[in-house]
Amino acid sequence: MSAVVSAPRGARLLPRDGLTWFGAVCAALFCLLAVLGPSLAGDPNATGSDVLAAPSLTHPFGTDQLGRDLLARTAAGTRVSLTVSLAAVALGLLVALPLGIFAGYHGGRLFDDLIMRVLEIVQALPMFVLAMFVIGLSGTATAHLGPIPITMTTKVVLLLGVAFVPYFARVARAATMAETGQEYVAALRVVGVPRLRILFGELLPNVAPAMVVQAFLAMALAVFAEGGLGFLGLGVQLPQATLGNLTGGGTGYLPAGVWWYSVLPGAVMLAGILGFNLIGDALSDSLGGRGTTHVETR
Amino acid sequence: MTIPPSWSRRRFLGLVPAVSLLAACSTAAPTGGGRTLRIGVAAGPSNLNPLDSGSEVTRWIAEPVMETLYDYDERVRSVPLLAAAEPAVSADGLTWTIPLKRGVTFHNGDAFTAEHVVASLDHVAAFASGSEWVVYFLGYYSGARAVDPNTVEIRLKRPYGLLRSHLTNLPITHRAFVDRKDTMMGTGPYRLARVSAGLGYSMTAHRGYHGPSPAYARLEFQIIPDGSTRAVNLRAGSVDIATELPVAALPLLAGQQAVTVHRVDAPIDILTYVKAGDPPFDDPNFRRAVAYAVDRQGVNDKVFGGAAVLGQGPIGPAERGYDPDLRVFPARPDTARARELLHGVTAPSFTLTISAGQVMEDIAQILVQSWAHAGITVKLEVLQGGPWAQRWISGAYQMIMNRFSSGFTSGDANYLTLSPAQSTSVLACGYENPSVDTALERVWAIDDQGERDRLLREVNATLTEDAVMFPPVYPKMIVAQRASVSPMDPARMKISRLGTPRLRPEGNAGE
């Protein structure tokens, strides 16, 4: 028995407005640079004699203070950014979806209260504060959880993933509560469909559109957060290039007129953030407001 | 947070690039002048006590506030300052008696007496204090006492010729302030008036100063973390002196008539050494392979704009014991030689632990790349100052690197930098060579400077050939000043000082 609610009338796959197309192009370029760039642009750590060279045909993004090609480094940084963001969002969804759906299904009962209060505690800590606190305690070096090494990249993924859980869970809970009130859920209960089947076979597909919207918006936030941590020196460590450490590393050269070092990697980061945000926004519109973009007030 | 209904998400996102552009175009307005000397520094130290910390900024801030028993003259000879005369040393060399200058007062009005000298010495000699000086005093210092208010007596466990150097570099503080880390109390020409966390430090002239009257009414150390921004502030006249200028920022000052850039050979070390007692660096061939594969020229060209001197051993050109003819390792990486030395080593690799900062990170990245060409995989570990120091002291590293100004504790030498090579040192890196141990023991014990220099040259050569300490370059101290300030003293800069107590306004500027 399928209870998937079809998209509302008027919803379309291809957007008509230019802003959404602009976002799609930005996100596509960001993803292309991440996927193909490192293979095409060469070794991001190879040094050359041409230091702080302006953009040219040889070095379209210029070079840094060690003579490294900034296009290659930006491509490598974009790959890190995309990988970390995807992993963080996936982790957040993986944890938040079951919690949100369970909480929504048991709405108003002890189980729901318990989950939501715990998540509110996590949510009370701003993402950057949480990240700086944890990285400040554990340092930027690889930590070890027993025999398992936790690299800085893993730490960033874990931190962002944990920070996303409350937001995803709240949306999943709200969407599940709305679905639980539908007649088909009561009917499923009456005919004796197992609870897990109702939760993950019937409710999950109907909650999914709202989560897809949230996932795109979270991708934008993750690209920004990963970049921000890198900018502050708290992200993935050198010599690995990230969009954040490139933007941060280049700021010292801005007064000397070396604009390309900060601005071009920063522009790539901005393209990713805008792209994923606008796609999420468009999806929200086309799904009839299922994935509301307003952050809930508490 | 709820975005107001009149502001759609799209409208907001559309404004993001415009807001970013506006933010990028904004600039800070220059501040005014007056009889205030303004100095731009890169950081604000968390510990303001110069008895604990030898960090450059702490000591630069302390320079006009706190004084030493002896000071360097214009020829870098030690002469009395808070002491009234040279110390009288007993025949066995174990008791030093120092007469103190009379009529000196601290900034709080208390008289400078022998009790304060004793408290300062006891503090730095106590292991629990965590002072950098403890390395010098442990095993030598027995105690000190005030013979009378104007005479201090220092007792030693064994002869210690280097003590004379320490008395020239160790600031003396008020006995009630020896454990304070948030402020300074001294006898210098300026008193610390205000600490603005993260912003800077203000000082006012000490009217009761025992020497020549301070030339400025106020001194301000402004924290400007970015080197280029310090240069721009200097060019704009927002600061009078800009310290620690990176080479990349120097073009910003080119052609500026009102600005002078000083590039001085100073005792600044790129502290670079390995844990010679543990694998993989317990293998001398592995150490040499790593040293042969260092791209010294690359570091000099790209990080220091070709202005540094290529490194060999731990002693640099501004330090006692330097040998300009010592040539063990090439300027460019000799990867063939490195691979030859690594014959039989499977998957050579190690971790390089550095302190965070643009210069150190740039150096390390060049080195990692040059080692990669020789087949050595190096993991880079970048730590903030505190965690880095913990690793350094605990010995939990394979190869460690940081920038260190030896001049604040050793004047024109770098005794502390060499101490990890001594097997008995608290900083020992696991290297064991009886001849080096004996030579360094004698360097610390004797008071014959000529013999000390000879021994230092020997130690430098041995540590270079054994590839225990091999900094890629010897950097220069780069400081720039405006013409509104009297010329900075090269003799002071040669021992890493700024010489702020003696600076004065020039011309009609500063009025």
Query: How close, in Å, is residue B68 to chain A by CA atoms?
Result: 37
Q: Would you state the pLDDT for residue A3?
A: 44
Q: Would you state the pLDDT for residue B29?
A: 37
B5, exposed or middle or buried, with CB in 10 Å at 0-12, 13-18, 19+? Answer: exposed
Q: Would you state the pLDDT for residue B11?
A: 53
Q: How many CB pairs under 8 A join A and B?
A: 90
Contact yes or no for A235/B344 (Cβ under 8 A): no
- Interface check for B249 against chain A (CB to CB < 8 A): the answer is yes
Please compute the mean of the pLDDT values over residues A223-233 and round it to a whole number: 91
DSSP A125: S
Query: DSSP of B217-249, one letter per residue?
Result: SEEEEEE---HHHHHHHHHHTS-SEE-S--GGG
Q: Would you state the pLDDT for residue A14?
A: 63
Please compute the mean of the pLDDT values over residues A46-71 and round it to a whole number: 94
- Interface check for B40 against chain A (CB to CB < 8 A): the answer is no
Interface ipTM: 0.76
**Which residues of A fall below an 8 Å CB-CB distance to B?**
19, 45-47, 49, 51-52, 65-67, 139-141, 233, 237-239, 249, 251-256, 270, 274, 277-278, 281, 293-295, 297
**Least-confidence region, from B18-27, B66-75, B255-264:** B18-27
Instruction: For residue B10, list chain A residues with Cβ-Cβ distance below 8 A.
Output: 19, 278, 281
- Interface check for B6 against chain A (CB to CB < 8 A): the answer is no
Query: How close, in Å, is residue B308 to chain A by CA atoms?
Result: 16
B28: pLDDT strictly greater than 70: no
Question: Which of residues A72 and B75 earns the better pLDDT score?
Answer: A72
Q: What is the mean pLDDT of chain B?
A: 90
Q: Would you state the pLDDT for residue A287?
A: 75
pLDDT in tens, A104-121: 988 778 888 888 999 988
Of all residues in chain A, the percent with pLDDT exceeding 70 is 91
Of all residues in chain B, the percent with pLDDT exceeding 70 is 93
Do A238 and B361 make contact, defined as CB atoms within 8 angstroms? yes
Supply the angle between the helices B434-445 and B449-465 in degrees, to the nearest 10: 150
A5: pLDDT strictly greater than 50: no
Please compute the mean of the pLDDT values over residues B353-363 and round it to a whole number: 91
pLDDT in tens, A168-184: 999 999 999 999 888 89
Nearest to A66 among B226, B227, B365 (CB): B365
Q: Would you state the pLDDT for residue A13?
A: 58
pLDDT in tens, B472-495: 999 999 999 999 999 999 989 999
Upstream peptide bond of B333 is cis (omega within 30 degrees of 0):
no
- The phi and psi torsions of B213 (rounded to 5 degrees) equal -60, 140
pLDDT in tens, B271-316: 999 999 999 999 999 999 999 999 999 999 999 989 999 999 999 9
pLDDT band at B243 (very low <50, low <70, confident <90, very high): very high
- Interface check for B13 against chain A (CB to CB < 8 A): the answer is yes
Residue of B nearest to A282 (CA): B10
Q: Count Cβ neighbours within 10 Å for each residue of B204-242 and write b for 16 or more, e otherwise.
A: bbbeebbeeebbbebbbbbbbebbbbbbbbbbebbbbbb
Do A252 and B387 make contact, defined as CB atoms within 8 angstroms? no
**Least-confidence region, from A126-130, B155-159, B415-419:** A126-130
**Least-confidence region, from B10-14, B169-173, B296-300:** B10-14
Query: DSSP of A220-265, one letter per residue?
Result: HHHHHHHHHHHHTT-SSPTTS--HHHHHHHHHTTGGGT-HHHHHHH
Contacts for B446 with CB less than 8 Å, ≥ 6 apart: B159, B161, B452
B422: left (phi over 0), alpha (psi -120 to 50) or beta: beta
Q: Would you state the pLDDT for residue A108?
A: 77
B26: pLDDT strictly greater than 60: no
- The phi and psi torsions of B406 (rounded to 5 degrees) equal -75, -25
A141: pLDDT strictly greater than 80: no
Do A252 and B248 make contact, defined as CB atoms within 8 angstroms? yes
pLDDT band at B22 (very low <50, low <70, confident <90, very high): very low
pLDDT band at B210 (very low <50, low <70, confident <90, very high): very high
Which of B294, B321, B475 has its CA nearest to residue B402? B475
Do B13 and A277 make contact, defined as CB atoms within 8 angstroms? yes
Q: Would you state the pLDDT for residue A289?
A: 54
**Least-confidence region, from A4-13, A16-25, B122-131:** A4-13
Question: Which of residues A3 and A155 earns the better pLDDT score?
Answer: A155
Alpha helices by DSSP H, chain A: 18-41, 70-105, 110-124, 127-138, 152-180, 183-190, 195-196, 204-231, 243-251, 259-286
Which of A292, A168, A262, A285 has its CA nearest to residue A219? A168
Mutation site, A17, A142, A229, A237, interface B, largest B CB count within 10 A = A237
pLDDT band at A96 (very low <50, low <70, confident <90, very high): very high
Q: Would you state the pLDDT for residue B282?
A: 96
Can you tell me the distance from the alpha carbon of A17 to that of B19, in angstroms, rounded to the nearest whole number? 23
Do B366 and A66 make contact, defined as CB atoms within 8 angstroms? yes
Q: Would you state the pLDDT for residue B10?
A: 55
Q: Would you state the pLDDT for residue A145?
A: 82
Which of A196, A155, A170 has its CA nearest to residue A118? A170
Can you tell me the distance from the alpha carbon of B192 to that of A12, in angstroms, rounded to the nearest whole number? 69
pLDDT band at B174 (very low <50, low <70, confident <90, very high): very high
Instruction: For residue A238, list chain B residues with Cβ-Cβ distance below 8 A.
Output: 361, 364-365, 380, 382
Residue of B nearest to A17 (CA): B10
Can you tell me the distance from the alpha carbon of A163 to that of B354, in angstroms, rounded to the nearest whole number? 30
Mutation site, B1, B6, B11, B13, interface A, largest A CB count within 10 A = B13
Nearest to B226 among A52, A252, A295 (CB): A252
- Interface check for B229 against chain A (CB to CB < 8 A): the answer is yes
B21: pLDDT strictly greater than 90: no
B185: pLDDT strictly greater than 90: yes
Mutation site, B300, B369, B378, B380, interface A, largest A CB count within 10 A = B369
Q: Would you state the pLDDT for residue B27?
A: 39
Do A65 and B226 make contact, defined as CB atoms within 8 angstroms? no
